Amino acid sequence: MTASGEQEARPDERHSGAQKVYFACFTEPITMSPEEMHPFLEDHKAWLKNMEALGAVFLGGPFLDDNFRYSGAGLIVLRARSFAEARSLADADPFHANGIRKYRLVPWQVNEGSVALRATLSSLQFTID
């Protein structure tokens, strides 16, 4: 079965490290400017928050241009057991479901990297480096 089916996502074992498979969802506007997309933004944010709470979103956010301003495109890294499940999650994003944005899914194997979390309890501050 091809990656577009129900086959369970699994790492390419020829590589070492974490060997964790996620799905990179590259998303971009179809025809609307950021201003025209604004009325749909709250539904998109609510969907992201819900997917994050369910554990389906690993990371997400917009791409920036050379001046560090929103460029229109973005990335959502999804946790899914198969390509079909990742596609179902991406299809449910209100931006995609309403034809405002298009996306491209790519299986992504994480092997290297680090994440540092710091919690300062007295001020309830959390940082990620």
Please count the structural domains in the chain: 1
CA 20 to chain centre: 15
Residue 123: inside a domain: yes
Q: How is 60-129 classified by DSSP, letter by letter?
A: EEEEE-TTSSEEEEEEEEEP-SBHHHHHHHHHHSHHHHTTSEEEEEEEEEE-S----EEEEGGGTEEEE-
Query: Does residue 9 lie in a domain region?
Result: no
Specify if 8 maps to a domain. no
3-54 per-position pLDDT tens digit: 556 788 776 566 666 678 999 999 999 877 777 778 888 999 999 999 999 9
Residue 2 lies in a domain: no
Structural domain harbouring 72 = 20-128
| CB 101 within 8 Å of CB 44 | no
What residues are paired with 52 via a beta bridge? none
85 located within any domain: yes
What global pTM score does this model have? 0.80
CATH number at residue 28: 3.30.70.1060
* Mean pLDDT score, 91-104: 94
